[in-house]
Structure 1
Amino acid sequence: LALMSFLAGGHAPGRGKYGDSISRGLRYMLACVKENGYINDNGSRMYSHAFATLLLAEVYGMTRRRDVRDALQRAITVIVDSQNAEGGWRYQLFARESDMSITVCQVMALRSARNVGITVPRSTITRAENYVKQSSVHGGSRRRPRHYGGLEGGGAFRYQLRGNSRATFPLTAAGVTTLYAAGNYESRLIEPALEYLRSQLGHFNNQYGREGHYFFYYGHYYAVQAFFTAGGSHWRSYFTTMRRELLRNQRADGSWPCSCGPGTAFSTAVATLILQIPYQYLPIFQR
């Protein structure tokens, strides 16, 4: 995420003000790629694998480096091969069940890789898309979800398919972003989900924003992509609110607070990514 933030600002490996920092970070990332293609160095499992794969795809699109392509190809194979029967992914490789928060990361990595010429089976995307559709409270399972950290609404997406799995602002943003990344821009589930996000934005920010909870940054990492792709009044209203919220919360040293979760490197990377989305320097963040 930190490297993605530099790239989103128009910098590249070996070029620009932060080119050397990006090059060093990329060397570390490539060193973390295991022989089988799995990328993991800190226990975050398929989360870290997906974010690292997304980075490699964006870097490959900029540089066309053979070593980056080789690592990217192997990492994509891991994602494709580990998709489970539900159509999604979970924390561990080859898990039997899925969740929305892990699935969205994988689909974004697959989309980015496909954008730069890496073969991704259409069936993998279709199965992931169907999983997301089933996760919709509006169009999928009719079981009543738990609205953890939010208000009730018919357009939400849930964490998992089973039981009364929770439906939240971050998971709903992830659901919309996954549909868009799968190439589905016309689903009847999208508009109700965007309305759900709009209705909860103030509540979510008040609950998690000021203290810098990691839910705040995680949720808006996907919300900004959902609203930006939707465009129009959805985007204008959202970004006006979020730009004001983020600039108000920035500390004097340039960082953003993270009272719960991975720390200020994470929160600052996500905050700067959100603010730089309109630049559209990275293909994955383009309309």
Structure 2
Amino acid sequence: MRSQTVVALLASLVIGTLFSTSAKAQFPTAQLGDVVPRDVREMYEKGLQYLAKSQNESGDWSGGSYAGPGVTGMAVMTFLASGEDPNYGIYSTNIRRGLISIVNSQDPNSGILGGNSGPGGHASMYNHGFATLALAEAYGVVNERLLTTGGKKIDRSLGEALELAVRGAVTSQKKNSYGGWRYGADAKDADTSVSGAVMVGLLAARNAGVKVPDEAIDRGVAYFKSMTSPAGQVAYAGLGGFDNSTPRISIGCLVYAVSRRKDMPEFKATLTALTNQMDTSGGSYKSYGNYYQAQALFQGDVEAWEKWNKDLIRQLKASQNDDGSFSGNFGPTVETSLSLLAMALNFRFLPIYER
């Protein structure tokens, strides 16, 4: 799977620039045979330009009250997700600086990315999950000999950081009687939102070739099973509390799919619930929901995703700001990254997006 991504990146160099004659960004033909829609290419490029300009000197990104390696990881993934060459492309420096920032944020003892603090009062495991995912997606496609910029050097290799991050997540889970994760690495309770972020990070690391204990994946899936109703609703925390939360249903559906548990009735139930309420316009956490719903639908029902994706493109085109950013409760960096990543299935470059 990783070799396919490398081949795709090399092929994009041959395809050349499709967006403009002056830029070197690659916008490849989608693997399923459809050309990436022009609106997606144009919105995506504007968004990347915004993120490139808003990156901090330290290599990280912040916006509003949200910051940390998880936020930086989201931004790094937006560049990788459209097939940007992470080694010699026009945004390669942004990618390298972001990765250096993520790795250097890691606690060398616990392996937790971001230490014990996080955005908006949320402690480290949200940061850890999204940052682990970014490292997994970069691992194997980034030339690590180039991972030094502006005098900043990386504390350890991407592979070492990823293995350490996996150990940190597994150690945290072992302390948790639910088999999931909460805000802090030592938390005794769990919720499906944080647990989804960490589980996808672990699954991406496994896909990248890093050893992840089967027991950790099995316990995480079992936790989501315990939180899924027969109707496909996914609770947040505790016992019960089922509702039609699109983000949580999408997270559950994605966890079942990427962990290769599509034969489970819970996967089928969450997918049915999701396809019955395909909406891109509502809720306080719509960008978060869109990010997960795009992946869940693509993994579960490509035809449903194609229909939903067209609505998403129209909605995002109408809401993108002139500077390329998107606005919302999470602040411009997170909103822009999540919005772009929700469209990134049109490119299908990230290994986690492979079916």
TM-score calculated relative to the size of structure 2: 0.70
Partner of 1:131: 223
Residue 80 (structure 1) shift: 0.8
Ranked by relative contact order (alpha carbons within 8 Å, sequence separation 6 or more), the top structure is: 2
SS at match of 1:200: coil
Partner of 2:326: 256
Partner of 2:273: 196
The amino acid across from 1:85 in the alignment is: S
Partner of 2:343: 275
Partner of 1:95: 187
1:113-262 to structure 2, matched below 5 A, reads 113-138=205-230, 154-164=231-241, 168-202=245-279, 205-208=280-283, 213=284, 215-258=285-328, 260=329, 262=330
CA distance in 2 between counterparts of 1:221 and 1:111 reads: 17
Q: Which runs of 5+ in 1 are unaligned?
A: 139-153
1:21-36 to structure 2, matched below 5 A, reads 21-36=94-109
Residue 103 (structure 1) shift: 0.9
The amino acid across from 2:250 in the alignment is: A
Partner of 1:39: 113
Residue 276 (structure 1) shift: 1.7
Residue 38 (structure 1) shift: 1.1
CA distance in 2 between counterparts of 1:70 and 1:250 reads: 38
| Segment drifting more, 249-258 vs 102-111 | 249-258
| Segment drifting more, 36-45 vs 18-27 | 36-45
TM-aligned CA distance change 1:186 to 1:163, over 3 Å: closer
Q: Which runs of 5+ in 2 are unaligned?
A: 1-73, 145-155
Partner of 1:108: 200
CA distance in 2 between counterparts of 1:79 and 1:59 reads: 19
Partner of 2:79: 6
CA distance in 2 between counterparts of 1:30 and 1:137 reads: 38
TM-aligned CA distance change 1:283 to 1:255, over 3 Å: same
Residue 263 (structure 1) shift: 0.5
CA distance in 2 between counterparts of 1:272 and 1:55 reads: 15
Residue 257 (structure 1) shift: 1.5
Percent identity of paired positions between Structure 1 and Structure 2 = 32
- Deviation string, structure 1 residues 140-199 (Cα, Å, up to 9, x no partner): xxxxxxxxxxxxxx2211112425365511111111011112211222222332232233
Counterpart contact for 1:110–1:120, Cα < 8 Å: yes
Counterpart contact for 2:261–2:267, Cα < 8 Å: no
The amino acid across from 2:93 in the alignment is: D
- Deviation string, structure 1 residues 12-49 (Cα, Å, up to 9, x no partner): 43321211111111111121011121111652410001
Residue 118 (structure 1) shift: 0.9
The amino acid across from 1:175 in the alignment is: G
TM-aligned CA distance change 1:88 to 1:167, over 3 Å: farther
CA distance in 2 between counterparts of 1:169 and 1:95 reads: 25
> Number of residue pairs matched?
263
Alignment RMSD:
1.8
CA distance in 2 between counterparts of 1:251 and 1:25 reads: 24
CA distance in 1 between counterparts of 2:221 and 2:236 reads: 15
Counterpart contact for 2:82–2:348, Cα < 8 Å: no
Query: Does residue 54 in structure 1 map to residue 128 in structure 2?
Result: no
SS at match of 2:189: coil
TM-score calculated relative to the size of structure 1: 0.86
Counterpart contact for 2:294–2:343, Cα < 8 Å: no
Counterpart contact for 1:85–1:96, Cα < 8 Å: yes
The amino acid across from 2:92 in the alignment is: G
Counterpart contact for 1:159–1:167, Cα < 8 Å: no
Residue 104 (structure 1) shift: 0.9
CA distance in 1 between counterparts of 2:140 and 2:204 reads: 9
SS at match of 1:49: helix
CA distance in 1 between counterparts of 2:179 and 2:222 reads: 7
- Deviation string, structure 1 residues 240-270 (Cα, Å, up to 9, x no partner): 2212211221122211111x2x301111111
